[in-house]
Amino acid sequence: MLLARLADVSEQVAATSARSRKIAVLADLFSATPPAEVPLVIAYLAGRLPQGRVGIGWNILREPVAPAGRATLTVADTDAALTALAGVAGPGSQTGRRRLVHDLMAAATAPEQRFLVRLLTGEVRQGALDAIALEGVARAAHAPAADVRRAVMLDGSLPRVATALLAEGPPALERFRLRVGTPVQPMLAHTAKSVADALAALGPCAVEEKLDGVRIQVHRTGDDVRIYTRSLDEITDRLPEAAAVARGLAGDAFVLDGEVIALDASGRPVPFQETASRVGSRLDVAAAAAARPVSPVFFDVLAADGAVLLDLPGRERHAELARLVPEPLRVRRAVVTDPADPARRDEAEAFFADALARGHEGVVVKALDAPYGAGRRGRSWLKVKPVHTLDLVVLAAEWGHGRRTGLLSNLHLGARAADGTFVMLGKTFKGLTDAMLGWQTDRLRELAVSDDGLTVRVRPELVVEIAYDGLQRSPRYPAGVALRFARVLRHRPDKPAAQADTVETVLAGPQSRVV
C-alpha cells in the first residue's frame, strides 16, 4: 500500500468529527490493505511507531527537503526506513539519522511529508484510535463489531486479530478466547464527580479503595506464574514477591486483576513514581525488592480453576476472588446494597474520606451486577477522586493538527515565581471545546511575541483555570515537578496574571504529594 493512501485517510479522519464517517473511511482503507500490512496501518493511524523512539527531533525534521513529484513510497518502505533509523547508534549517529531522514522525506510527496513529520513527532491526533479502527476492521471484514471487540479484549492485540480477520474472514474470531497465560486487556473505569453521583448512576454497588499503584494481571497454572502490566508487557521477573504470593494461593488455573503497591514505614503508600521505578527496574531485582518491597492487592478474578468468569456479575466474581485470595491481599471495600438509603450513602462517603486519609487516590465504585468488560472503559466502574484546580498563566501555545489545524491548541502553563517571573509546570490540550479553541487562538494571537511555525510564545497575561490530579517529578521543568492529567476548565480573562497561583501554592497545596 502506498503511504499516500494512508496519509490521505489520516487527513480525512482528522477533518471529521462524525464517528460514522471515520469508521466508513477506515473500512474502505482496511478493505484495500494487504493483511500483512494491517499492523503497520493500525499503528500509524494511531500515531505509534512499532520501533518505539527513533531519536528524531525537530532540529532534523525542520530541515527542508524537496518533496517527490509522485507517490511511490509504500507503507513497507516507510517501516524499513524507520527500522534503519532506530538501529543507528554510536559515533556519527546524528549524521546517519539526518541522512536517513533526508532520504525518506525525499521519497515522500508533500502530503506524505506532513504525515511523516506528525508521526515522528507524536502529533498524529486525528481520532483514529483503536476503538474506531476496530469498527473499521469489523465493517471491512463483514463481522459483528461486538465479536471483534471481544476477540481483541481476550487476545490483547487489535493488529493480530485484524490480520487474521481480514485474511480469513469472521470464522477466524473463534480462535480468540481467554487462556490462562495469555494477557487480557484490563477493564477501565469512567470518572464520576462524586460518590453520590456514582451511587445514583450504578444502584447496588461496591465502593473500593483506588490504590495509586501499578496495575498487574497475574496468571497461574500449576507453579507457572506470569505477571503482566496494564499494557500487557510481561514483568514476572521484576516482581518476585507477587509471583511468590500467587504460587501460595490455594487455587489453580486462575487470572487475577489487581495492583502492586509499596508502603512506607508508617504503612502509607509511597508516591506512585517510586513504585513505578521499582517495577520498572531490570537490574539486580533482588536488591531492588529488598530496598523497596511491593505487595500485590487484588480486586477481581477473570478465571478460576480453568473456568472463564468474565460474564459473571461482579458480586459472583468477588465471591470467587474471596475463595481464592485471603482478605489481607484483597482491596478494601464497602458494599452498598441500597444507595437510596441515606445511612448507606453516609457510609460510602465515610469510606471515601477514610481512603483519602489512608493516602490513597480515592475510590472506584463498581456495579454489583456488571460483567467484566475486558479492554473497555465501562460505565459500570466509576472512579471518584478529589478535584483540585489552579489558576495558571499561558506562556506559549502550539499550533494544532488535524481538526485543530489553524488553531492554537497545546498550552504551556506557568505559575508565578517569587521574583515575578513564571515557572512552567506542564502542557495540556485537554478539556478545550471548539468554541474555547477559537476564542483562545484569537486572544493568544493578540498576545504573541514570536511564532516559529510550531510554537507561539505569548506575553504572560491570559489566565486559565486548570484541573489536575496531582504532581509528578520532572527534570524538564524548573520547579522539578509537572502537573498530572491537567485539563482546561475555563479561561479567566477577568483575572490578571498577578493573581494567578504561585509555585509555592502549587507545592504546598492539597495535591502537593509528588509522585
| 182 in a structural domain | no
**Binding-site positions for ATP:** 208, 215, 230, 259, 299, 377, 383
Domain end (from 342, 360, 384): 384
Of 89-93, 202-206, 319-323, 357-361, minimum mean pLDDT range: 89-93
- Assess whether 87 and 66 both reside in one domain: yes
Residue with the bigger pLDDT between 231 and 1: it is: 1
Among 352, 384, 416, the domain boundary falls at 384
At position 121, the amino acid (one-letter code) is: T
Report the relative pairing of strands 254-261 and 295-304 from DSSP bridges. antiparallel
Same domain, 257 and 393: no
State in Å, rounded, how far the first CA of the chain is from the last one: 44
| Residues 446 and 396 occupy one common structural domain | yes
Lowest mean pLDDT across 271-275, 306-310, 396-400: 271-275
Catalytic residue, chosen from 22, 193, 210, 366, is 210
Q: For 482-503, what is the mean pLDDT?
A: 86
Average pLDDT for 267-273: 82
What is the C-alpha to C-alpha distance for residues 230 and 187, in angstroms, rounded to an integer? 10
CATH number of residue 498's parent domain: 2.40.50.140
Are 392 and 374 in the same domain? Answer: no
Residue 205 lies in a domain: yes
Confidence (pLDDT) at 89:
82
Question: Three cell numbers at 313?
Answer: 456479575
Q: Tell me the three state secondary structure of residue 190.
A: strand
> 239 and 135 in one domain?
no
Domain shared by 394 and 367, yes or no: no
Query: How does DSSP assign 426-494, residue by residue?
Result: EEE-TT--HHHHHHHHHHHHHHEEEE-SSEEEE-TT-EEEEEESEEEE-TTSTTSEEEES-EEEEE-TT
Burial class, 367, CB count within 10 angstroms (exposed 0-12 / middle 13-18 / buried 19+): buried
Kindly state whether residue 226 falls inside one of the protein's structural domains: yes
Q: Looking at the domain assignment, is residue 513 inside a domain?
A: no
Assess whether 385 carries a catalytic annotation. no
433 and 304 share one domain: no
Residues 26, 149, single domain; the answer is yes
State residue 274's pLDDT score: 82
Position 311 pLDDT exceeds 70: yes
For residue 180, being part of any structural domain is answered with no
State mean pLDDT over 309-333. 96
Q: Of 501, 467, 471, 512, nearest to 487 (Cα)?
A: 467
Structural domain range at position 447: 388-508
Same domain for 400 and 357? no
H, E, C per residue of 321-366: HHHHCCHHHECCEEEECCCCCHHHHHHHHHHHHHHHHCCCCEEEEE
Please state the domain count of the chain: 3
Residues 378 and 404 placed together within one structural domain of the fold: no
> pLDDT tier at 498 (50, 70, 90 boundaries)?
confident
136-188 pLDDT, tens digit per residue, is 999 999 999 989 988 988 887 889 999 999 999 999 998 888 889 989 889 98
On whether both 11 and 67 belong to a single domain, the answer is yes
Would the pLDDT of 126 be above 70?
Answer: no
Q: Is residue 375 part of a domain?
A: yes
- Residues annotated in a binding site: 208, 215, 230, 259, 299, 377, 383
Residues 6+ apart with CB under 8 A from 353: none
Instruction: For residue 255, give Cα distances in angstroms to 14, 237, 301, 321, 381.
Output: 39, 18, 6, 10, 19
Most confident of 98-107, 367-376, 472-481: 98-107
| % the chain with pLDDT above 70 | 97
**pLDDT at residue 308 tops 80:** yes
| CATH code of 223's domain | 3.30.470.30
Among 320, 355, 384, the domain-final residue is: 384
CATH assignment at residue 139: 1.10.3260.10
Q: Does some domain include residue 183?
A: no
> Is 206 within a domain?
yes
- At residue 467, φ and ψ (nearest 5 deg) are -95, 145
pLDDT for position 514: 42
Same domain for 426 and 323: no
**Residue 125 banded pLDDT, cuts 50, 70, 90:** low
